[in-house]
Structure 1
Amino acid sequence: MNVDCSKRIFLWSLLVLGTSCRSTHLEDVADPGLAITEEKWSLGNPSSVSVSPQTVMDLLLLPEEAVELIQRGLAKNPDAAVAQARLEQAFALWKQSRWSLMPSVDLQYSQARTKQNFIGLPIPGAENQVLSTQFQSYGLGLFANWELDLWGRLRAVKASDRAGLKAAEYDWQFYLLSLSSQIAKAWADAVIDERQWHLAEERSLQIERVVGRVKDRYANGLETSRGLDTTTLDWLNALQEATQRRQRVETSRRILQALVGDFPTGAESLLGALPVYDTGVPSGLPSELLERRPDLLAASAKVEGSRQRLRATERELFPRISLTGSLGSSSPELQEVLSPDYSIWQLAGNATQPLFSRGLIRGRIAWRKAAAQEELAKYQSLILSAFKEVAVALQADVLLREQLGQSDKMLVIAKRDQNQAEQDFAKGLAGLYQVVQSRQKRLTQEIQSYEMKRQVFQNRVDLLMALGGGWESPILETVSSLPEKDLLH
């Protein structure tokens, strides 16, 4: 009877294990790789110059002052430390998953004192008494537990954490790249705003001198009140513009100081030299440059991580097989706990198969599958957005530099007109009004020229961001690219 029962249990176990090990139907999420086409962006005639990452980095032409600010911001900005801490968390999680494949071994020491009662035993002379005894025991042993990863569930978890580590690393690099671009733009804003402020102050001072002369003429009856009011209104407008530009200078200074990790006092003056872009972006930039964009690499790693998490959840439908064992000793005396005469050991294997929770697991599989599809869609959308950003920035670089050239020509003409007006005034061929008008035109045009330089510089920074970088820094040294044996150190 017992033999038949054992056979039935054995057959039922084989049936359950066989059905659970059946491969589940899974629509594999497509491996995205890095779907960058081999097309080239081209504006004008193709260039025969081979474009390297160093060539792209040289497109910005940052002065030493701006480079030092970027390096200081990467070292002192608290948000950079936050991004680095997230990377370290992902690294610790990956290390933890690596050890899940290994057996767990614990050393245990135990000491117990027990009292035992004997009730109802037919002991002569003690029928109405409760007899008891006390004893103590000491134990020392090793306890091991090892889950056999026959279906690859633990390996999938490890691969998922590995992908999470790479995604965190690329997110960290993308943040540093973004911080560098923000500092570069803030530096250019601070420099240009300060120069425009000085030009606006110069214009207000010139109009103030004109107002003084008009007042003298009005006092002598040579100017009407309407002319005085018109000149005064022009002066007040110029004064208001100068005040507004001073406010912009204070704001841009504080933004830059906060980005580099300093207290935003707004006291630091920046009058550095702006980069001059005599040449445009080389034609024929290969689209493979997008393969170094950290946000694309992070999105690709997140897709791989979601696929591995889906695979690990699928493997939860399979039975978990583990081995347990113990080796040690147990004795009533402490000095005998290491004696081989009191040694004990145990070795056992067990298999656990989910039965009534399979619906719950399949629900998690469906959720994981949808999450993987979401990550893939995000990755594809990011690729399209990257191509769009590069195309827009390349076209804008051509048009903005063309507008800057036109603005520079207009500035040359305005300066020449001012010089001619001043010479005619000295010879008595022109009045004071013509001189003032020519100076105002020159100052206005110079302010507009700086505004065009701002747009050209910001677009060049956006282009480098779209291409995946351009600043070299030892902080950008990767972690997950190191051999695994070095990662543990």
Structure 2
Amino acid sequence: MSILHPPNRMPPAQITTFKSGLIGLLILLTGCSLLQPHHSETALPDNPEKWDARAEINQPVSTGWLDNFSDKNLTNLIKEAIGNNFDLKLAAARVEAAQANAKISGADRWPQISASLNAGRAKRNTVVGGNIISGISNNFQTGIEVSWEVDIWGKLSHQARAAVLELAASESDFQAAKLSLAANIARQWFNSVEARQQVRLATETVDNYQSSLTIIRENYRAGLNSALDVRLAKTNLATAQSQLAARQTQLDAQLRALQILLGSYPSAMIETAQQLPSLDNRIPAGLPSELLQRRPDLIAAEQRLLASDERVSQAKKNRLPQIRLTTSGGSSTDEFKKLLDSDTLIWSIAGGLTAPLFQGGRLKANQELAMANANQALYQYAQTVLNAFREVETALAATPLLDKQQQALKTAVNEAQESERLAAEQYRAGLVDIVTWLEAQRQLFTARSNLLQIQNQQLQNRIDLHLALGGDFIQEDSDKNK
């Protein structure tokens, strides 16, 4: 099944019935062009039979994508943020506006009914035989007026369907905002956890450099080291202290950014996990491309494409004659008590046909505008599809490469730890100079810091993959029923 073919079009039988009775008259009035759909078969990207990029892993996965990170605090935090995030509230308000607009657009298909009640009192003078005779009269009126535009061409139906499709697009935008919010919170959460671990590592490094400086100073006093060794050790310590301050600044910024996503004041006073989780649940082989059908942004783009076609049809039929029926009924009397008397009833029925002849090209320009907007929606949909494919392929391709980086960095950390231990022993034994020991310490710090970064990148890449797929690696029952 291709995600590029909309699933919710009007049933073919209904379309045929609608068109059959009007096609002859439409040809006489405006020609066949008004009946042609705006979008015929268009060259859009097809679904791949399989993803080109492969994850070299095939193990069972859990059913909830947040569960893959094994962090209940993160899951609970996202649930709380759903009700507090202001961007999400803004998306919800847009849905409410679209709901109201759909009601407004659909109301034009129904008769418009209004009621009235009027009362009046007047004095009139009449000249009779040279004499002025005055008279005072009362008038009471009540009535109901019904006005209805007969939707013979279906333009009001197109207008109503377009509004409903735009409502569906807004609802999908809201779902996309929820998914994006969850992903952004997860990203920021792990960025904060990494920043916290980087602070601890930098603190540990400062402590180690301080201990090294103490040893070197004692050896200097004993005449075993030169002043250069002390200077180099102080340089390393000062550099480490600077890096610690930089890491603390990064942690502070990450925590405040996380709180903004949660809809709370950015005080930087929030607890996070102490270390990054490991990804025990791996990516299954053979992910179906149909998973992308549930992506809210694709659904929204598709609904807007369908809505734009409805707007084109509406704009075309705005150039056709308009038929309006008007009826009114009520009563008119000079005595209020006879207002509802059957003898005072009055009524009228009228019908009118209005055909646009000349409006300075406005109707044609409106049709051209609708067609241009429809083309934009088509190209936007196609681009959204391509971007979705790119995001999935990129995340899948990055997974094995990040795994290789992690394994290489684990090896580098182990080797750096052993190198630092040997360099410290040989320096104390006078077999190597201070530069060798300080360089071994620096390499160990760099390797451990890089390992933390790559662990976070693996988590970020997994989040990107879930966001690209629109959820978990398997299609849940709620998705299948959509």
Same topology, TM > 0.5? yes
Q: Aligned partner of 2:119: which letter?
A: Q
> Could you tell me whether the CA contact under 8 Å between 1:325 and 1:348 is conserved in 2?
yes
SS in 2 for 1:199: helix
State the alpha-carbon separation in 1 of the partners of residues 64 and 396 from structure 2: 13
Specify the alignment match of 1:87 in structure 2: 95
Alignment partner of 1:293 out of 278, 291, 295: 295
Give the distance between the partners of 1:235 and 1:293, measured in 2 at CA: 51
Q: 1:397 to 1:59 in 2, by over 3 A?
A: farther
Indicate the residue corresponding to 1:284 in structure 2.
Answer: 286
The one-letter code matched in structure 2 to 1:188 is F
Listed one character per residue, the Cα deviations across residues 120-160 of structure 1 (whole Å, up to 9, x for unaligned) are x7x4224xx6x654422111221111111000011000010
SS in 2 for 1:355: coil
Of 45, 49, 57, which residue of structure 1 is paired with 2:65?
57
Cα deviation 1:442-477 (Å, max 9, x = unaligned): 4332211110011111111111111123499xxxx9
Q: Which residue of 2 aligns with 1:39?
A: 49
User: Within the alignment, does 1:229 sit opposite 2:239 as a pair?
Assistant: no
- Paired position in structure 1 for 2:83: 75
Question: In the aligned structure 2, how far is the partner of 1:168 from the partner of 1:315?
Answer: 26
Task: Output the TM-score relative to the length of structure 2.
Answer: 0.84
1:245 aligns with 2:247: yes
Q: Relative to 1, partners in 2 of residues 1:393 and 1:67: Cα closer, same or farther, differing over 3 Å?
A: same
Q: 1:108 aligns with which of 106, 109, 116?
A: 116
Contact 2:197 2:274 in 1 (8 A): no
Aligned to 1:306: 308
Q: Which amino acid aligns with 1:77?
A: N
The number of residues matched between the two structures is: 451
Comparing 326-335 and 28-37, the one that deviates more:
28-37
Report the 3-state secondary structure (helix = DSSP H, G, I; strand = E; otherwise coil) of the residue aligned with 2:69: coil
* Partner residue, 1:322: 324
SS at match of 2:144: strand
> Does the C-alpha gap of structure 1 residues 33 and 270 become closer, same or farther in structure 2, counting only changes over 3 Å?
farther
Query: d(CA) in 2 for partners of 1:30 and 1:307?
Result: 11
Cα separation, 1, equivalents of 2:63 and 2:294: 14
Q: Distance in 2 between matches of 1:453 and 1:73?
A: 25
Shift of 1:232: 0.9
| 1:141 alignment partner, SS class | strand
Q: How does 1:419-434 map to 2 (within 5 A)?
A: none
In 2, Cα distance between equivalents of 1:410 and 1:237: 22
Normalized against structure 1, the TM-score is what? Answer: 0.83
Letter matched to residue 51 of structure 2: W
AA in 2 matched with 1:366: E
- Matched with 1:254 is 256
What are the Cα deviations for residues 136-192 of structure 1, in whole angstroms up to 9, with x where unaligned? 211122111111100001100001001100110111111111111110000000101
Selected match of 1:165 from 154, 164, 167: 167
What is residue 385 of structure 1 aligned with on the other side?
387
Partner of 2:156: 154
Which of 142, 147, 160 aligns to 1:145? It is 147
Gaps of 5+ in 2: 1-24
Kindly report the root-mean-square deviation, in angstroms, between the aligned alpha carbons of the 2 structures: 3.3
Classify 1:262/1:198 alpha carbon distance in 2 versus 1 (closer, same or farther; 3 Å).
same
Out of 440-449 and 320-329, give the one that drifted further: 440-449
The 8 Å contact of residues 43 and 284 in structure 1, kept in 2 or not, is answered as no
Per the TM alignment, residue 378 of structure 1 is displaced from its structure 2 partner at its CA by 1.1
SS at match of 1:382: helix
Match of 1:28 in 2: 38
Contact persistence 1:191–1:270 (CA under 8 A): yes
Instruction: Give me the whole-angstrom Cα distance separating, in 2, the residues matched to 1:414 and 1:162.
Output: 63
Segment drifting more, 232-241 vs 26-35: 26-35
Instruction: Using the TM superposition, give the Cα deviation of residue 266 of structure 1 relative to its aligned residue in structure 2, in angstroms.
Output: 0.6
C-alpha deviation, 1:418, in angstroms = 5.3
* Corresponding residue number in structure 1 for 2:217: 215
Verify the 8 A CA contact 2:155 2:318 in the aligned structure 1: yes
Matched, 1:353 2:355: yes
Q: How high is the sequence identity, in percent, across the aligned residues? A: 28
1-side partners of 2:336 and 2:269: how far apart?
75
In the alignment, is the contact (CA less than 8 A) between 1:186 and 1:252 conserved in 2? yes
Q: Give the whole-Å Cα distance in 2 for the aligned partners of 1:46 and 1:253.
A: 34
Task: State the alpha-carbon separation in 1 of the partners of residues 373 and 30 from structure 2.
Answer: 25
1:97 CA displacement: 2.2
